[in-house]
Structure 1
């Protein structure tokens, strides 16, 4: 921003909480021009806009407005959305920024004599904007927020699904101990959470019922529940009975509670999987209203599917928000802090993790798939894996994700599809 623009800009810091928004407005000389608080609701947002408009309208020397607030959970979403699209403030070239709280906290440490209250925090945010420390793009409004809420909710449901499956395994081990201990080639079911596995674990009260059941009756039961899809139902039934005979026996009072718990977990797993399918459709529908070029550019990368492509787009919005792949990496928190003093340089550097944790998750998970499909990334991963003796996989995968960022940035900026001839040059 040019100095003339800075001199004519009102820098506004907003300390957001669940109940109220505390506002502090300063000029380029750090003079406090406004300080007030409003409720964190729609009437409060209108009041804030009217007070800012009244001040700007009465001060002809200030004709630009920069508003900054911390990205604290979801409490700031409504006010950022409202101010960025407020018609009353549009004549003042309004820009709204949601800032990383860690950056504000570290900046505040430069003031050794400041206390802690909402008014002080609002001033620090405004001053952070005044000195030109903001490097992120302005608030992009509801366009990508809808997709972001869907992709983040899908991630939440997927995490709940994984947690439920892990939890259910403990109950399965208690009821049918040997089933969960079998090697993969000895497992009777290819899908441990399928209809047949569910039936065996919930229709039979105990392992003794399975062990003592006539083999043909068990074969018929498996065939019926598996809709006759088993290639060799007799072999499956034999494996199941052998596992039942080798399992620990429990007191009879334990079998019914365990069976009910396992049945409940299967119901939850089925519900989670059904919800994920519905969310996938909603994500696909929402994507059609955004820039399809970015989506297809990401889908063209081997190993990247709709889930990771949608997640990355939802978190970065437009690639125009970043002036380089380094800025992109910093926003994702995939940068490493140098540890050097004099002739000493530490071999072990710490990953920042100060950026967008959701974006970092999608990038790392996507990189894990990409390395299995693109030889250049597989070679890079193994090279980094062999460089150290501790944290090999995590380190190599994070570095591969950092390399992957350059590919994403290049494709999105140039509106290109993936090409093998281009990957080694990025």
Structure 2
């Protein structure tokens, strides 16, 4: 929590909805100063700011404002941004926090049999702040918001690609059943969603056409579509023809609709990839000049470029908001619930995933890249991969991400570049 004097702080809780902001304000001794509702628009925000300012002026023993609200989709963004930059409130050092709703929901359980209404929700949020339970960082303004919107949109686009690939699996199996099932050395293409595979699946109407095509024509076609990047085109042609012979046959009336559907899916995937490239360029442009030390530090780790670094920085913000790597891991949801009773200690434990999903994504992607470049992380991943018979990659990557969190925290706290040397096992920031 911030180093503030709680005795002289006004704690403001805001229950945010799309249409209104219900507000409850109290001091450390639970004396009520404000209980009202305002429209969730610019006039309502101005009215609330004036009321908070008047309250601070009327009570000179209060000199700091802590405003807390739940992170409610996009509805909390405007009010948080307005209050944190409102000129009339700046003399009172306003700190604005957007909280994980799960934290306040768990805090509410301490108030037995309390009804659930908007005014009581605002009271719970204000009391949560008064109790000093806020562990996240304050709202950081428009510049970080701009970066966060880009990095989060990039995740949205990658999820769109994943969804599209998952969706097209059924059409792919119907048209070319064997190709979709093959793996390893029997698979003609290293990437079934790549350009060469896409051309085969959309320009040849059916597997029978591939069987009937001359070897010379098929070799020329694959060489052209792959831009001669396939080292052994003859083997690829052989595997492709075998897959075509082993695939189910369909009525001719089905092939054209399947082709149209597959072509549309491939076009969507290509479009999403182009948009991700554009977003990557925008992220790289936006991150420059924002916290250059943190960017330089993270980029010093082999495998971390500006996009992954920007995603981590956008979600972490000021590393001093976290007193340890454990706190940072908890914020990202990279923690595991323990299942123990008496002498029983469960071997399988589930990741809680109750934290910041965007930060968890970028830490995971970054860790996956780092383990390909840094021997220490490659060995650690391999060790964890071999420890279990199922979910090997998922488990190993999650644990590697947790190890990566310690590296990120240590480097940012110590403000030092990565040299390949191991940092201290743990490093804590002194808190008040």
Q: Same fold (TM over 0.5)?
A: yes
The aligned residue for residue 122 of structure 2 is 122
Distance (whole Å) between structure 2 residues aligned to residue 62 and residue 248 of structure 1: 77
Q: Residues 187 and 397 of structure 1: is their aligned pair in 2 closer, same or farther, counting only changes over 3 Å?
A: closer
Write the deviation string for residues 185-207 of structure 1: whole angstroms up to 9, x where unpaired: 34333443333322221122222
Pairwise CA distance, 1:87: 0.4
1:134 maps to 2:146: no
Q: Residues 215 and 390 of structure 1: is their aligned pair in 2 closer, same or farther, counting only changes over 3 Å?
A: closer
The aligned residue for residue 403 of structure 2 is 403
Distance (whole Å) between structure 2 residues aligned to residue 87 and residue 397 of structure 1: 46
Pairwise CA distance, 1:363: 2.0
Q: Residues 186 and 353 of structure 1: is their aligned pair in 2 closer, same or farther, counting only changes over 3 Å?
A: closer
- Structure 2: tracts of 5 or more residues without a match: 427-432
Asked whether the 8 Å contact 2:137–2:318 carries over to 1, the reply is no
Write the deviation string for residues 366-394 of structure 1: whole angstroms up to 9, x where unpaired: 33343444343344445556667776655
The aligned residue for residue 225 of structure 1 is 225
Asked whether the 8 Å contact 1:26–1:32 carries over to 2, the reply is yes
Distance (whole Å) between structure 2 residues aligned to residue 74 and residue 189 of structure 1: 42
Q: Which moved more, 1:390-399 or 1:142-151?
A: 390-399
SS of match in other structure, 2:205: coil
The aligned residue for residue 28 of structure 1 is 28
1:152 maps to 2:135: no
The aligned residue for residue 318 of structure 1 is 318
SS of match in other structure, 2:13: strand
The aligned residue for residue 168 of structure 1 is 168
Q: Residues 53 and 236 of structure 1: is their aligned pair in 2 closer, same or farther, counting only changes over 3 Å?
A: same
- Structure 1: tracts of 5 or more residues without a match: none
SS of match in other structure, 2:111: coil
Pairwise CA distance, 1:102: 1.1
Asked whether the 8 Å contact 1:17–1:75 carries over to 2, the reply is yes
The aligned residue for residue 299 of structure 1 is 299
Distance (whole Å) between structure 2 residues aligned to residue 3 and residue 262 of structure 1: 58
SS of match in other structure, 1:286: helix
**1:406-417 to 2 correspondences below 5 Å:** 406-417=406-417
**1:3-402 to 2 correspondences below 5 Å:** 5-231=5-231, 233-337=233-337, 346-348=345-347, 350-381=350-381, 394-402=394-402
Q: Residues 124 and 279 of structure 1: is their aligned pair in 2 closer, same or farther, counting only changes over 3 Å?
A: same
SS of match in other structure, 2:5: helix
Q: Residues 330 and 235 of structure 1: is their aligned pair in 2 closer, same or farther, counting only changes over 3 Å?
A: closer
Q: Residues 196 and 398 of structure 1: is their aligned pair in 2 closer, same or farther, counting only changes over 3 Å?
A: closer
Write the deviation string for residues 387-409 of structure 1: whole angstroms up to 9, x where unpaired: 67776655554333333222111
SS of match in other structure, 1:272: helix
Q: Residues 338 and 296 of structure 1: is their aligned pair in 2 closer, same or farther, counting only changes over 3 Å?
A: same
Q: Residues 30 and 250 of structure 1: is their aligned pair in 2 closer, same or farther, counting only changes over 3 Å?
A: same
The aligned residue for residue 429 of structure 2 is none
SS of match in other structure, 1:420: coil
Distance (whole Å) between structure 2 residues aligned to residue 316 and residue 234 of structure 1: 50
Q: Residues 371 and 28 of structure 1: is their aligned pair in 2 closer, same or farther, counting only changes over 3 Å?
A: same
Distance (whole Å) between structure 2 residues aligned to residue 385 and residue 222 of structure 1: 36
Pairwise CA distance, 1:256: 0.9
Question: How does the TM-score come out when normalised to structure 2?
Answer: 0.89
**Number of paired residues?**
425
Distance (whole Å) between structure 2 residues aligned to residue 251 and residue 385 of structure 1: 45
Distance (whole Å) between structure 2 residues aligned to residue 75 and residue 128 of structure 1: 20
Distance (whole Å) between structure 2 residues aligned to residue 383 and residue 188 of structure 1: 31
Write the deviation string for residues 169-226 of structure 1: whole angstroms up to 9, x where unpaired: 3212211222223343343334433333222211222222222233333333334434
SS of match in other structure, 1:421: coil
Pairwise CA distance, 1:68: 0.5
Distance (whole Å) between structure 2 residues aligned to residue 188 and residue 389 of structure 1: 28
Q: Residues 345 and 104 of structure 1: is their aligned pair in 2 closer, same or farther, counting only changes over 3 Å?
A: farther
Distance (whole Å) between structure 2 residues aligned to residue 127 and residue 15 of structure 1: 13
Q: Residues 284 and 378 of structure 1: is their aligned pair in 2 closer, same or farther, counting only changes over 3 Å?
A: same
Asked whether the 8 Å contact 1:157–1:272 carries over to 2, the reply is yes
Q: Which moved more, 1:168-177 or 1:271-280?
A: 168-177
Asked whether the 8 Å contact 1:376–1:424 carries over to 2, the reply is no
Q: Which moved more, 1:38-47 or 1:116-125?
A: 38-47
Distance (whole Å) between structure 2 residues aligned to residue 186 and residue 390 of structure 1: 23
Distance (whole Å) between structure 2 residues aligned to residue 12 and residue 116 of structure 1: 18
Asked whether the 8 Å contact 2:178–2:246 carries over to 1, the reply is yes
Distance (whole Å) between structure 1 residues aligned to residue 121 and residue 345 of structure 2: 35
